[in-house]
Amino acid sequence: MEQKFDVVIIGGGIVGLATAYQLSKEFKNLSIAVIEKEKILGEHQTGHNSGVLHSGLYYTPGSKKAILCLEGKEEMVAFVKEHNIPHDICGKVIVATEEKELKNLEKIYQNGVANKVPGIEKIDAKRIKEIEPYCTGVAGIWVPSAGIINYKDVSNKLGELIEKANTKNKIFLGEKCENISEKNEISYITTNKKTIEAKVVIACAGLHCDRIAKKDHLNPGMKIVPFRGDYYELSEKGKKKVRNLIYPVPDPDFPFLGVHFTRMIDGSVECGPNAVFSFKREGYTRTAFNLRDTIESLTFRGTWILLKKHWRQALQEYRRAFSKKMFLKSLQKLIPDLTMEDIQPARAGVRAQALDSNGQMIADFKIEFKNKHVHVLNAPSPAATASLSIGRHIVAEIKRNNLLS
């Protein structure tokens, strides 16, 4: 069975859906298909992230991340208000627990100023206590524009609006992209169920974006190396010790933010994640394993260069993944009163980390064009926050390059 669409989007996570939504707004008569290999939308990175509406504080000034996060957060807030999706702009505090962290705290603050993050301010130990009474620190940054949301709720609403925008628009669930080919300027996407014909293809495949690029005969110039993040959840007694969002000052020598506290939109409080090499791209348990994923990661030169550079931190993270006591100790740096009874194991997520062959983590969003095909090759956090602006950016590039003419 063959079907024809103007645009086919591979991937039903929040970036793919936001792109389809922006296309449906810009081109009212365009027929759009979204294909998603799972039976529900937003099943992987979208549904396993921390649910934070990021403020744009950490990202290099002038980068796509900085620009699109700031724009996207405002656009996301407007979207969820319009569609009555639960959210809360509750603010977050970044806390230095030791004097030696003050220099890096200042760098983060200046970065936020350069990115024009609204309302950020330096705060002292007393103000930290006013915001988060159980948290202890020597200084901090108050970020009032940060918030919380459930991105699966957003994804489901986007899917609904895409299909409402045009009766020709379709979302196909349970369909995996198996091949991409081109003939006479027409593209053919073969799934496990059918072949779909399209004028333009947009791949937003997250954890599998490099593999989809190769199916399209595009050298992505990177490889996805998965990193799992384990979470604990605070008990009823424990969650009284956290009001909203509490973050540490990240270690400048380690490319992750460190374990933090996040009040979720349902009222629960998660703490984490750690960051450990994952032996499976979609592995949400500590012992998850996939032979193909493992071989691809461990035969990639960049993986070993990265692990060699950060082996001490990597070993510490892996030990902490199997030790509740070590995890608690990390959390106690921010909330000393936390006890073993206050935390209980919860879910995990997997970050699609793009690495180049020199072991460098690709910091910025990476979007490549090949003829009339678009590939989103690196969209880690804050991609969910920025998803609507990422979609708008892709639509603008499609228009600029006349891909739909």
Instruction: Burial-class residue 209 by CB neighbours within 10 Å (0-12, 13-18, 19+).
Output: buried
Structure tokens at 89: 């702009």
pLDDT of res. 310: 87
Outline which parts of the chain fall under CATH 3.30.9. 227-359
b (16+ CB within 10 A) / e for 85-110: bebeeebbbbbbbeeebeeebeebbe
Q: Using CA atoms, how far apart are residues 56 and 69, in angstroms rounded to an integer?
A: 5
Give the three-class secondary structure for 137: coil
Please list the residue range(s) of the chain that carry CATH number 3.50.50.60: 2-47+152-222+363-400
Q: What is the pTM of this model?
A: 0.96
What topology does CATH give the domain 2-47+152-222+363-400? FAD/NAD(P)-binding domain (3.50.50)
pLDDT of residue 253: 67
Q: Is the peptide bond before 273 cis (omega within 30 degrees of 0)?
A: yes
The span from the CA of 44 to the CA of 297, in Å, is: 19
DSSP symbols for 322-347:
T-HHHHHHHHHTT-TT--GGGEEEEE
3-state helix, strand, coil in the chain (%, to 5): 35, 30, 35
Q: Say what the pLDDT of residue 254 is.
A: 65
What DSSP state is assigned to residue 44? S
**Residue pLDDT, tens place only, 174-195:** 999 999 999 998 999 999 999 9
Which pLDDT tens digit goes with each residue over 61-73?
999 999 999 999 9
Tokens of 29: 């008569």
For 227-359, CATH number? 3.30.9
Using only C-alpha atoms, the chain has a radius of gyration, in whole angstroms, of 21
Low-confidence ranges of the chain (pLDDT < 70): 1-2, 252-257
Tokens of 62: 């002038």
At 314 the pLDDT is: 84
- Quick one: pLDDT at residue 312? 84
Where do we find the tokens 């990661």? Answer: 297
Instruction: Name which of 206, 207, 219, 208 is nearest 356 in CA terms.
Output: 219
CA distances from 188 to 175, 249, 309 (A): 14, 48, 42
